[in-house]
Amino acid sequence: MRAFLVVMDSVGIGGAPDAASYFNAGVPDTGANTLAHIAQACAEGRAEEGRNGPLHLPVLDALGLGAATRLASGEAVPGLGAEPSGLWGAASESSKGKDTPSGHWELAGLPVPWDWHYFPVAQPVFPAELLAKVCEIAGVDGTLGNCHGSGTVMLDQFGPEHQRSGKPICYTSADSVFQIAAHEESFGLERLLDLCEKIAPTLHAMKVGRVIARPFLGEPGSYRRTSNRHDYAIMPPEPILTNWVQDAGRRVYAIGKIGDIFSMQGIDEVRKGDDATLMRHLSDLVDSAADGALTFANFVEFDSLYGHRRDVSGYARALEWFDAELGRLLPRLREGDLLLITADHGNDPTWTGTDHTRERVPVLVHGRGAGQIGQIAFADVAASIAAHLGVPAQGPGRSFL
């Protein structure tokens, strides 16, 4: 038997019991619901730019996406009302974060055992000694940014001066991150990656979850981020799902940023690219992954291209593309394969601000019959994958299989 664990990055379904403790631009996340609010905008004609009518997700709906959203939040999802043919439920996070490492670590069986360090909403935002170390490593006499900001805004605001001066653009967000943007040609991709790798231990000692290299190309007025992003994340302090599987002698494939998130712990092979390329990698592994293997995939563009940019129509199109691709994939799974689809947090594109939203996430399972699994914990996902593969599990999760 094989297992495919697929994270639809940021596709939350509302209802987090502690949403009032998390904020976007000073507004609590209470009531945020990524999926339901996109579907409602589509049904009401508020999601334009190349798409019309209700949100069309027949494959995900048949697996239980609409039912899971109603279970999580009580909100109706226009266009999603199918009787589920798979196992379905909703998961709540216990870690104190609404970010990539918190969500993925806990889905992999390890709730975050500490509080992340977040940079204050102030300007300047970074300690002077931290930026001095960046300058020393990069061989420059200063940095740009030193603020909270959205990546594309940072490029528009500081990109021209960065190209003139060679100073890297350093910024953060509501997540526990330190991001460095630099032009691949005028600054150099390898130079940027080397800088991020060397500064990462300093940030990790502060309990900042990730240093993210944000390479870009183009000219003033037409900058674009490239797919050469690299995350330098804190190493998980205890074994996680990928370790459990690898230690049992099985093969572990990582698609997308999974290898970065887990600092390559328990991973045999990594495949990267944009989401269309990642779908091709997932399709290939459906045909070729070894018996007993785990394939762990993250599709990031729901979050990076549409959620943070509050692009409802773009998010809707991405969901419909994913649903159509999934429909081509499911019939090719082998007897005994399990495919589990979930998310790591929310990012409601109808919400205030530009940050993630604290939400429950769907848990949709193909290959183990049909039925409701109810409200579960993030860590139960790892325990259930381990149970399916027949490998020993660790951590607090309990299998729902």
Query: Which residues line the annotated binding site for Mn(2+)?
Result: 9, 303, 308, 344-345, 356
Contact 9, 15 (CB under 8 A): no
CB-based burial, 69-91: b 16+ in 10 Å, e otherwise: bbbbbebebbbbebebebbbbbb
Count other Cβ atoms within 10 Å, centred on residue 370: 15
Sign of the dihedral through C-alpha 113, 250, 295, 60: negative
d(CA 395, CA 401): 17
CA proximity to 298, closest of 229, 386, 348? 229
Residues 6+ apart with CB under 8 A from 356: 10, 98, 99, 174, 175, 303, 307, 345, 346, 347
d(CA 123, CA 134): 18
SS3 187: helix
Rounded to 5 degrees, what are φ and ψ at 376? -130, 180
- For tokens 């909100």, name the residue: 75
d(CA 263, CA 279): 22
The separation between the first and the last C-alpha atoms of the chain, rounded to the nearest angstrom, is 14
- How many whole angstroms from its chain centre is CA 212? 14
Rounded to 5 degrees, what are φ and ψ at 29? -80, 5
Residues 6+ apart with CB under 8 A from 97: 103, 112, 116, 175, 176, 209
Count other Cβ atoms within 10 Å, centred on residue 137: 17
- β-strand partners of 123: none
d(CA 156, CA 161): 10
* Angle ∠(390,395,397) on CA atoms, nearest 5: 75
